[in-house]
Amino acid sequence: MTPFTRIGRILKDGQPGTQVDVRGWVRTKRESKGGFAFLELNDGSSFASLQVVVDGGVPGYAESMKHLGTGASVRIEGEIKESPGKGQRVEVHAKTLEIYGLADPATYPLQKKGHSFEFLREKAHLRPRSNTFGAMARVRNALCAAIHDFYQSRGFLYVQTPIITTSDCEGAGQLFQVTTLDLARLAAKQGEAVDFSQDFFGKKAGLTVSGQLEAETYACALGDVYTFGPTFRAENSNTTRHLAEFWMIEPEMAFYDLNDNMNLAESFVRSIIKDVLAKCPDDLAFFNERIEPGLLDSLHHIVENDFVRLTYTEGVEILQKSGKAFEYPVEWGHDLQSEHERYLTEEHFKQPVILTDYPRAIKSFYMRCNEDGKTVRAMDVLVPRIGEIIGGSQREERPDILVERMRESGLNPDDYWWYLELRQYGTVPHAGFGLGLERTVQLVTGMQNIRDCIPFPRTPKNAEF
């Protein structure tokens, strides 16, 4: 137990007459020269702040009030009382006021009034002190807890897959290179090939773009596993839904087919949203009111209704019959454009959609080939506003076909010798998928930009902090 009380607790069930010690940061100060002041104190334990009434009789009142402003950190000892004012059940009447640190109002960047998210991104070290980012952090935390709960309660093993990898070309995105070689010296020796045998790992290494291949090895031994860690893509992506560093949850299940995979994905998404709705009502009410009107309705709708499931081919037919003038034509064999996905999930079905059985030419080598020879057992979960939130598939467990698909994709099977051995020794049908954590935070909070759904976003030209 801490020697002080967290504000969320006081607001929830603090009883009038109780003596408390609270510590936090001043959000606003409303001063009356009549001899008292109101402080809004926030310590991150809840969305709402605590109103503290500081009477002129509190020791050091005049000196404290002269300097105290938004952003200052304080300790207050006082008594909980019923609040006569509107907007709060209880408040604290201070008996003592101790200042830990002042925040010069002339230079402190956060004002009482709202700031643009662009501005706050440049103040990533201070933005958690704002309503929006405090709420985002609590929702993100609740989501992470819900994710672990979901898998732990189903007996899945949490497996840590490597962040540094030497399997180049895992099939998704560009790798950030990891090296201890002296790049300046190499640059001076232009024209000569780089000798990676001299590098730290003895070969070219990079940051992982997916833990899937390694997760498969544990699924093919222990049954149901999941990874939950950072993922890196060195793509020059400049959009509201891409990050160079993001977090991904990748469950991988032995003896699952595509249908089992879809069932898990759907109950997963619905379950974690349900948990966050229950755990973060105040934060979500704020997002619903100030960030994305209609958010709560749309989240409840997702929780309470089945996802629509259809094949890629059926999706293409719906799009072609829609009569909608798309910027890009819909043609079987081409990947669906954002506008197509959005039409399906936002206009046609108005709820999450799981698309399956994509053309094999546009999907990764590890996805299981269908008997028709044209499609693979892939699945994408599409949600309104965000688009793709999950990508997954039943994996190709037949060694000969897998090798054929690698060659088809221009990969050298020798580089994947250990992955192929999973199929040579005791191969099993299995499936899995990847859920983007930040896209889920976007979905749940209604935040427009994924850069505001992670504490310190990494995007092209941005790795400050």
Partner RNA sequence: UCCCCGAUAGCUCAACCGGUAGAGCGGCGGACUGUUAAUCCGUAGGUUCUUGGUUCGAAUCCAAGUCGGGGAGCCA
State which of positions 210-239 bind RNA (CB under 7 A). Answer: 210, 233, 235-239
Nearer to RNA, 182 or 347 (CB): 347
DSSP string, 295-329: HHHHHHHHHHSPPEEEEHHHHHHHHHHS----SS-
One residue of 121, 127, 138, 270 binding RNA per CB under 7 A: 121
Q: For residue 64, what are the contacts with CB-CB under 8 A and spacing of at least 6?
A: 54, 58, 97, 99
Least distance from RNA to the Cβ atom of residue 130, Å: 12
The residue count for binding RNA (CB under 7 A) is 72
Least distance from RNA to the Cβ atom of residue 180, Å: 26
Region 148-207 residues binding RNA, contact defined as CB under 7 A: 172-173
The closest alpha carbon to 72, from 157, 129, 4, belongs to 129
| Binding region for RNA (CB under 7 A) out of 107-115, 278-286, 297-305, 406-414 | 107-115
Region 51-70 residues binding RNA, contact defined as CB under 7 A: 51, 53, 66, 69-70
CA 421 to chain centre: 33
CA 160 to chain centre: 18
Region 326-345 residues binding RNA, contact defined as CB under 7 A: 328, 335, 337-339
Output the six-digit token pair for 434: 């990847």
Region 276-315 residues binding RNA, contact defined as CB under 7 A: none
One residue of 57, 63, 96, 118 binding RNA per CB under 7 A: 118
CA 180 to chain centre: 31
Distances (CA, A) of 403 to 169, 255, 369, 423: 15, 21, 12, 10
Least distance from RNA to the Cβ atom of residue 378, Å: 9
Q: Does 28 bind RNA (CB under 7 A)?
A: yes
| Binding region for RNA (CB under 7 A) out of 113-121, 218-226, 299-307, 367-375 | 113-121
Least distance from RNA to the Cβ atom of residue 262, Å: 14
Region 381-440 residues binding RNA, contact defined as CB under 7 A: 387-391, 434-436, 438-439
Q: Does 106 bind RNA (CB under 7 A)?
A: yes
One residue of 1, 2, 17, 86 binding RNA per CB under 7 A: 86
Q: For residue 165, which amino acid is it?
A: T
Rounded to whole angstroms, the maximal C-alpha distance in the chain is 85
Region 349-378 residues binding RNA, contact defined as CB under 7 A: none
Handedness of CA 439, 441, 443, 446 (dihedral sign): negative
One residue of 83, 179, 311, 370 binding RNA per CB under 7 A: 83
Region 32-51 residues binding RNA, contact defined as CB under 7 A: 32-36, 38, 51
Measured CA to CA, the distance from residue 111 to residue 433 in angstroms comes to 43
